[in-house]
A and B are shown apart, each in its own frame.
Chain A
Amino acid sequence: MHEVSYLRPKNLADAVRLYRTTAGCRLLAGGTDLMVMLHARTLRPEPRALLDLWSLPELKGVRRVNEGLEIGAAESYTAIIRSPEVQRDLPALVAAARTIGAAQIQNRGTLGGNLANASPAGDTLPVLLAYDAVIVTDRRSIAIDTFFIGYRKTALQPDELITAVRFPLGRQVEFRKVGTRAAQAISKIVMAVSRSPARVAVGSVAEVPLRARQAEAALERGDLQGAVAAVAEDIRPIDDVRSTAVYRRAVTQNVLRELLENVRSPRT
């Protein structure tokens, strides 16, 4: 058994170079998922090095870019929650970030990590889908709705790293997570909804976080009841340790109905 080496890049360009040239290299940001798997030796293939992106200034910060807001891939949820810009422009993202773990996890977890990990239960991922976020990497931009291609599989190239996430402004998104307890819970279902444009994004109900296309089509027509009916067809829930397919289907419909009512009559 070998030690996994630790690589600390000087800057983003150095990180990109190291990631391309180091065999068996995994990216490390806040470590909230990776360090668990590293310690339990469940990472496959077994990594030979971790490349630490955590303190790269290029991957931090919240900034206005053109008509949108850009958040660094290694920015923590805590910074996102505390950012006045995010609070003003992307309140659903703040709401989602606040449901992740508790203080310790929010202080280390990142959007880049949540995306790269691509868990179907990733709490921010439906919000990103509902905002039509754009994932910026070291070489290109990827539309979020083409990003998740299979269970924990993404459209990223093997040596590609996420640098930031961009959000358009002026969209009203509602968010709700249903978990087993009030904090430190992985979701049974998690949802983000926008009325216009019509976006219904759901997590923990399929092998990927998904957009409920039929529900969105109904919503686009102004058919709210139709959207609630259709969302049950859009999702592919299973029974697992956290919940059941039957529950997930029913609650996805119930939560969608609730969120659509909220979007119609925003709470003050």
Chain B
Amino acid sequence: MSDTTVAVGRSVPRREGGDKVTGRARYTDDLAVPGALYGKTIRSTVPKGRIRSITLDPAFEWGRVTVVTADDIPGENVVQLIRDDQPVLARNHGEIRHREEPILLLAAADRATLEEAASYIRIEYDAVPPVFDLDKATELFSSVEISKGKVLEDLEDLEDVEVVERSFRVGLQEQLYIEPQGAIAFPEPGGAIRIIGSLQCPYYVHRALKRALKLTDKQAIVIQAETGGGFGGKEEYPSIVAIHAALLARKAGRPVRLIYDRHEDLAATTKRHPGVITHRTAVRKDGTLLSQDIEIVLDGGAYCTLTPVVLSRAAIHAAGAYACPNVRIRARAVATNTPPNGAFRGFGAPQSLFAAELMVEHVAERLGVSSVDLRRQWMLRLGDTTATGQVLTESVGSELVFDAALKAAPAVRPSDRPTVRRGRGLSLVFHGSGFTGSGEKKLQGTIGFEALADGTFRILTASTEIGQGTKTIFCQLAAEALGVELDKVILAPQDTSLVPDSGPTVASRTAMIVGRLVQEAATEVKERLKREKAPLRVEKSYIQPDSIHWDETSYRGDAYPVYAWACTIADVDVDMITGEVRVIDLVTAVDCGKAIHPVMAEGQIEGGSLQAVGWATIEEIKMKDGGYQNDRLATYLIPTALDAPRIRTILVENPYSRGPFGAKGIGELPMDGPAPAIIAAIHDATGVWLDEIPATPEKVLSACASR
């Protein structure tokens, strides 16, 4: 690169890379805090019922520990999110809606005292029968209906039409960030509380903390420590951890560390929503797609968390990356008595796209045509209209990624092991970048940008680095816009007392939405510096372009500013005597608009793809009495390096005019495509269609046997 001020498109070293490879990076549990107490959460052991009594056995000397109950909450006993249904702590004689529901908090000078104290707490319950079955769940968290054109029954000229109906089921999945949840709370002068924690969204925690602890904006200070992965799992749950730590710190008058171990993290924190998706698709014999009728039921678990937004994204993506004149999507999310489900990379879209993609396969099979050809016939192209009536006006990469993946995939060779059959499957998906509908307009994410007197520049944003590269790409965008060397730009710490609210680090919005604000702010500062002297500061807030229209009540209009596209080809080996499935090769072509940092973009896609491989094959959670049986890393298994396929990523650059230098969001997209491609590949290998993931050896063998 001759011009060192060209920053965008270069795979520069990660900002915090040096710290991460030397052990200097400080994650929450790495912070030494003199005098800090250790915290612990006491949780319910029944999935549904009422607390009959809480007894602190007088045989223990309770002066040795700090005990917090619901009565110690100074503000409202609510974890602030969408609905006010989730309590910070269950009350004595109050309702229990899931196992592992927090009831009491303890803090002590050492862990042994905590364990000892916990053994002297007796909680009795009046248990009532829990609901786990989606068909029997009566409480609704939300529902969505999308309709375009007519329903099948109202269509005319239905001779010569095939109708294919099929149901699909997807399971729970744990985010499994390698650093468990954790926060440290510090009581500060003036009744303030400072939180340092492992989190994606500092202002979510800030809002939740203010409400539960009755704090002012200034009294609640939330700082992100280096964070060891999130994947959505650290979107909403850290609010609970932070409030708990803060309550203990407030009562004890000392800092409190509340760091989950892996067992507690797996047992208590949110998972990907499981669900059932049913399709009824009508096509003409020539393959013309006539109508899609889709029903989605997601299991929200015990409390609402972000479920309505997850359901919304699931519904909007449910018709797949295809143009259909008549679409009806009816989606609902119900309450059960499992621990609450919540945000997880893809946010409902992987669930509904799994069904949509397999439906293409089933229709192709019924028509006796190639599913690759059928996709080419159906795929959304420039000028086409989506299920919500959104006309795609630019950056539609469907055909580009389709061709790129097909071209890159090598010929399939048979396995050399006699009991193993090899197969190939393909998927085509799209994923909306940024918040759904009017989300960005309502949020008006704001950043600050400073030109400092020493000639350097500082970006102030609450968008967090959780491994995906925020720290690096924001600096690249700013340097490029300013035309300065990369090392002239720094990012201010993610501390709510310093930075404005640029919104949560979720929804494939950081690079595209917040990144664009960085670019615009840097451009403005560059202009102003022609007339003014540093130091100066600008703030930039998101302004919804006039061309974007969304009607929240009818679910019509521009659901997302733009979509990213991916085509994935998976090759799998199926051992016919054991049902074991190994994904051996994965080719994925992704339309990312513009790769700001190609290596990091590939890294997002490869990591997301493997997470999807795990979801599709081995990541399974079995329930027992409302709890997860797979509550340790010895039983909840994710892919190792030996299980991971070779992943080949092809970045297709198809710029989006309002993205920073053309970039679109791709954080979630790679979670969408691999699962249906893998199930199609298993069919190619064995002749058997699975309707449910994960495709465990037990399911594969049983399906093959009953064929």
Direct contact of A and B (CB under 8 A): yes
Chain A positions within 8 Å of B, measured between CB atoms, are: 1, 40-41, 102, 178, 180-186, 188, 241-244, 246-247, 250-251, 254-255, 257-258
Interface stretch, picked from B131-139, B289-297, B574-582, is B574-582
Given contact pairs A241-B630, A247-B698, A254-B577, A181 touches B643 in the complex (Cβ within 8 A):
yes
In the complex, B170 has a CB within 8 A of chain A: no
- How many angstroms from the CA of A199 to the CA of B696 in the assembled complex? 30
The verdict on A247 contacting B697 (CB below 8 Å), with A41-B115, A183-B640, A254-B577 known, is: yes
Interface residue from A40, A184, A242, A254 paired with B578 (Cβ < 8 Å): A254
Contact B697 A242 (CB under 8 A): no
Asked whether B701 lies within 8 Å of A247 as measured between CB atoms, the reply is yes
At the interface, yes or no: B629 with Cβ under 8 Å from chain A?
yes
Interface check B94, CB cutoff 8 A: no
| B705 interface residue per 8 A CB criterion | yes
Query: Are A244 and B698 CB-contacts (below 8 A) given A186-B634, A251-B578?
Result: yes
Given contacts A183-B642, A183-B643, A258-B419, contact A178 B697 (CB under 8 A): yes
Decide: B580 and A178 in contact? CB cutoff 8 A.
yes
- Could you list 10 A-B pairs, sorted by A, with CB under 8 Å? A40-B263, A180-B697, A181-B637, A182-B640, A183-B640, A183-B642, A184-B637, A251-B579, A251-B697, A257-B577
A257 to B418, CA, bound (A): 13
B618 & A181 in contact (Cβ 8 Å cutoff): yes
Determine whether the beta carbon of A1 is less than 8 Å from that of B112. yes
Question: Which residues of chain B are near A255, meaning CB under 8 Å?
Answer: 577-578
On chain A, the residues within 8 Å of B635 by CB distance are 241-242
- A188 partner residues in chain B, CB cutoff 8 A: 697
Q: Please, which residue of chain B has its CB at the minimum distance from the CB of A181? A: B643
Q: What is the bound-complex CA distance between A185 and B640, given in angstroms? A: 10
How many whole Å from A205's CB to the nearest CB in chain B?
A: 14
Q: A181 contacts B577, CB within 8 Å?
A: no
Task: Check A184/B116 contact, CB under 8 A, given A247-B701, A255-B577.
Answer: no
Q: Is B702 an interface residue (CB 8 A)?
A: yes
Question: In whole angstroms, what is the CA distance A45 to B618 when docked?
Answer: 35
CB distance from B626 to the nearest CB of A (A): 15
Query: Which 4 residue pairs spanning A and B have beta carbons closest together?
Result: A254-B577, A182-B642, A247-B698, A183-B642
Instruction: Give chain B interface residues in 553-593, CB to chain A under 8 Å.
Output: 577-580, 582
**CB of B639 within 8 Å of the partner chain:** yes
Q: Given A246-B702, A258-B419, are A181 and B578 also a contact pair (CB < 8 Å)?
A: no
Q: Is B93 positioned at the interface, with any CB of A under 8 Å from its CB?
A: no
- Chain B nearest CB: distance from A200 CB in Å? 16
Q: How far apart sit A244 and B701, CA to CA, in the bound complex (Å)? A: 12
Within 678-703 of B, Cβ neighbours of A (below 8 Å) are at 696-698, 701-702
User: B622 at the A/B interface (Cβ < 8 Å)?
Assistant: yes
Is there an interface contact between B639 and A181, defined as CB atoms closer than 8 Å? yes
| A141–B324 CA distance with the chains assembled, in angstroms | 75
What is the CA–CA distance of A254 and B696 in the complex, to the nearest angstrom?
17
A1 touches B637 (CB 8 A): no
Q: Which residues of A contact B705 (CB under 8 A)?
A: 250
Those of B625-684 within 8 Å (CB) of chain A: 629-630, 634-635, 637, 639-643
What is the CB-to-nearest-CB distance from B37 to chain A, in angstroms, rounded to a whole number?
A: 17
Nearest CB in chain A: distance from B700 CB, A: 10
| A178 touching B578, Cβ below 8 Å | yes
Nearest CB of chain A from residue B63's CB, rounded to whole Å: 17
The residue in chain B whose Cβ has the minimal distance to the Cβ of A250 is: B701
Supposing A243-B698, A247-B697, A247-B701 touch, asked if A181 and B634 sit within 8 A by C-beta, the answer is: no
**Residues of A close to B697: CB separation below 8 A:** 178, 180, 188, 243, 247, 251
Taken together as a complex, chains A and B put the C-alpha atoms of A254 and B697 apart, in Å, by 13
Residue in A closest to B119 when the chains form the complex, CB atoms: A1
Q: CA of A1 to CA of B108 in the docked complex: distance in angstroms? A: 14
Chain B residues with CB under 8 Å of A178's CB are 578, 580, 697
Residues of A near B577 (CB, < 8 A) are: 251, 254-255, 257-258
Q: How far is the CA of A263 from the CA of B116 in the complex (A)?
A: 56
**What's the minimum C-beta distance from A126 to chain B, rounded to whole angstroms?**
16
Q: Are B640 and A102 in contact (CB under 8 A)?
A: yes
Beyond known contacts A102-B640, A180-B697: 17 more, CB 8 A cutoff: A40-B263, A102-B642, A178-B578, A178-B697, A181-B618, A181-B637, A183-B642, A183-B643, A241-B630, A241-B635, A243-B697, A246-B698, A247-B579, A250-B701, A250-B705, A251-B577, A254-B577
Instruction: Tell me the bound Cα distance from A242 to B635 in angstroms.
Output: 7
Expressed in whole angstroms, the Cα–Cα distance for A253 and B17 within the complex equals 51
Q: Looking across the interface, which residue of chain A has its beta carbon closest to that of B636?
A: A241
CA distance in complex: A1, B577 (Å):
50
Residues in B whose Cβ lies below 8 Å from that of A254: 577-578
A88 to B509, CA, bound (A): 58
A102 CB, nearest partner CB in chain B, Å: 7
Q: Which of A180, A244, A251 has the most CB of B within 10 A?
A: A180
Chain B window 410-425, contacts with chain A (Cβ cutoff 8 Å), 1 for yes, 0 for no:
0000000001000000
Check B637–A182 contact: CB distance below 8 A.
no
CB-CB under 8 A from B618, the residues of chain A are 180-181
Chain A nearest CB, measured from B236 CB (Å): 28
Chain A residues within 8 Å of B622, by CB: 241
Interface residue ranges of B416-442 to A (CB < 8 Å): 419
Q: Are A184 and B640 interface neighbours, CB within 8 A? A: yes
Chain B 193-209 interface mask (CB, 8 Å, partner A; 1/0): 00000000000000000
Q: Which residues of B contact A180 (CB under 8 A)?
A: 618, 637, 696-697
Shortest C-beta distance, B378 to chain A (Å), equals 35
Q: Measured between alpha carbons, how far is A185 from B630 in the docked complex, in Å?
A: 13
Give the docked Cα–Cα distance between A241 and B624 (Å).
10
Residues of A within 8 A of B702 (CB): 246-247
Contacts of A247 in B (CB 8 A): 579, 697-698, 701-702
Complex CA–CA separation, A1 to B637 (angstroms): 33
Contact of B640 among A181, A241, A242, A244 (CB under 8 A): A181
Q: How far is the CA of A258 from the CA of B577 in the complex (A)?
A: 8
- In the complex, how many angstroms separate the beta carbon of B618 from the nearest chain A beta carbon? 5
**Known contacts A178-B580, A181-B637, A186-B634: A1-B643 contact under CB 8 Å:** no
Q: Whole-angstrom distance from the CB of A229 to the nearest CB of chain B?
A: 16
Contact A1:B115 (CB < 8 A) given known A180-B618, A244-B698: yes
Which residues of B are found within 8 Å of A182, using beta-carbon distances?
582, 640, 642-643
B108 to chain A, nearest CB (A): 12
Given A183-B642, A183-B643, A258-B419, A1–B116 Cβ distance below 8 Å?
A: yes
How many whole Å from B494's CB to the nearest CB in chain A?
A: 33
Determine how close the nearest CB of chain B comes to the CB of A56; give it in whole angstroms.
28
Q: Collect the chain B residues with CB atoms within 8 Å of residue A258's CB.
A: 419, 577
In the complex, which residue of chain B has the Cβ closest to the Cβ of A176? Answer: B578
Question: Cα distance A192–B643 when bound, in Å?
Answer: 24
Q: Residues of A contacting B582 with CB < 8 Å?
A: 182
Nearest-neighbour CB distance to chain A for B528, whole angstroms, equals 56
User: What B residues does A185 contact at CB under 8 A?
Assistant: 637
**A31 CB, min distance to chain B CBs, angstroms:** 15
- Type the 1/0 row for B151-194, where 1 means its CB is closer than 8 Å to any CB of A: 00000000000000000000000000000000000000000000
A181–B639 Cα distance when bound, in Å, is 7
Chain B residues positioned under 8 Å from A257 (CB to CB): 577
Complex alpha-carbon distance, A184 and B638, angstroms: 10
Contact A251 B701, beta carbon cutoff 8 Å: yes
Q: Which of A40, A241, A242, A250 has the most CB of B within 10 A?
A: A241
Alpha-carbon gap, A241 to B635, bound state (A): 7
The answer for the CA separation of A255 and B641 in the assembled complex, in Å, is 25
